[in-house]
Every structure is written in structure tokens, then in C-alpha cells.
Amino acid sequence: MSKDPLQSISESLVQRYSKRYRELGDSIRTLGWGSTEQQRYRFAMSLGLLGDTAGKRIVDVGCGFGDFFHFLKDSGVEFDSYLGVDINEDLLGQARKKCKDSRASFLQLNILTDSPPEPLGDISVMFGVLNFHLKDQMNNLDYTRTFLRKAFSLAKDRLIFDFISTHRIASYAQEDFIYYHDPLELLALCFELTPLLSFKHDYLPIPQREGMIALIHSEQ
């Protein structure tokens, strides 16, 4: 019997990041980001999409080292709690070492193949999760549709996620391992989930042009 493609993709991603962690340790490069400044700029672009965070539970899907928690704290954002979710225990172990705040907790969970209790919080976020070109493993839009549906179900209020856009800048070469989402295709997919959304495609390239979308539950 052939293996479930979602399980195969998850296993390959665990191996990818565990190898990077062994080689690079607690480094922004382990997570695939170019620099801390680029990562925090990306995080900053989400602030206008989060809505009212006071008293809210935030779920960070694909949390890595839990850097978004530290960004929220440093930025003075009010929230009740933060749950970092990832499939890689190596990254989660480092996240727990770096974060001793009582508001933060971390959980090894594969939202695609496990059955988490729903919802886990009020606001879900995920950064960089949809960027890998899956090639012959699975159709990327099908993967995106599945991932968004699962992540959206984890939050009572909304899901904020980013993507790398097909509207590339000419000065940065196209990369074979990156999947570039067509914003119009992605928006059509998002409207399958909710009629309420916010779309952002006007911030500086980091280093490629990116976009960000907030999916909002119609009943809150």
C-alpha cells in the first residue's frame, strides 16, 4: 500500500529541518529565513491583520523556535496565551529552552494527519508553511487547500498566513524549491472557506514579493 502523500511530505520536512538544526543549531538559517530583520519585518506585516488580540489565545502553526512569541512580547502586543505547534521535536525542544514565559507552551502536532481538538485557540498564524514546491509529491494547490482548511479550523476567530507571490521582482531569480502562489488562485481558494478575509500584497519584498491573508470566521 502506498504511503499517504501528506505523511510522506511531513516526514521529509522533519528530516530537512532536523538536518539543518544539527548543522546550524539555533540559527535563523535553520528555519530557512534570510535574516532576523527579514523575519521580524514579515511578522510586523501581520499586526494589522490580527484584529483585537487582548485576552486571545494565539496558535502558531509551524512555530519553529517560537520566534513569533518573542516578537509579540517585544512589540507590546496584548494576548492571553501562545501555543507553538510544530511537527519537529528538535525545533520545539529549542523553543522550550528559549522561552520560559508562563503564557507560552509548545506542542508537537501534525495538523494534517493528527486529529487535534478544535479549536486550539482564537487566532491562528502560520509563516512560511506554504512555500515549498512539492513537485511530484503532491499538487501544491491541493496541499494549500488542505492546510488552510485544517489551520482555519484550529481558531475560533481567524487565520493569518503568508505566501510567496507569482508577481516576482525581476532582480531576484526564481528558485526551483519555492512554490509561487498566484494571488487570484489563492483568493478563490480562500473564498471556499469564508466570505470574510483581508488581503495584503503591498509590502517590501523580503527578498521576493510576498502576500498575506487573514481568513475570518463568519460567526465569531
Question: What is the extent of the structural domain holding 129?
Answer: 5-216
pLDDT of residue 2: 58
pLDDT of residue 220: 54
Bond into 183 cis (ω within 30): no
* Domain containing residue 9: CATH number: 3.40.50.150
219: pLDDT confidence band, cut at 50, 70 and 90? low
Render pLDDT for 54-102 as a digit per residue (tens, 0 to 9). 999 999 999 999 999 999 999 999 999 999 999 999 999 999 999 989 9
Q: Tell me: pLDDT of 137 over 80.
A: yes
Render pLDDT for 172-199 as a digit per residue (tens, 0 to 9). 888 999 999 999 999 999 999 999 999 9
Look at the chain and report how many structural domains it folds into. Answer: 1
pLDDT of residue 178: 94
The more confidently predicted of residues 3 and 69 is 69
What is the spatial order of strands in the sheet that 104-108 belongs to?
Answer: 104-108, 81-86, 57-61, 121-126, 155-164, 210-216, 196-200
119: pLDDT confidence band, cut at 50, 70 and 90? confident
The more confidently predicted of residues 16 and 3 is 16
pLDDT of residue 64: 96
Sequence-distant (6+) residues with CB within 8 A of 77 are 47, 50, 53
Report the C-alpha gap between 164 and 181 in whole angstroms. Answer: 6
Sequence-distant (6+) residues with CB within 8 A of 185 are 141
Query: Could you tell me whether strands 155-164 and 196-200 are parallel, antiparallel, or unpaired per DSSP bridges?
Result: unpaired
Render pLDDT for 7-54 as a digit per residue (tens, 0 to 9). 999 999 999 999 999 999 999 999 988 899 999 999 999 999 999 999
217: pLDDT confidence band, cut at 50, 70 and 90? very high
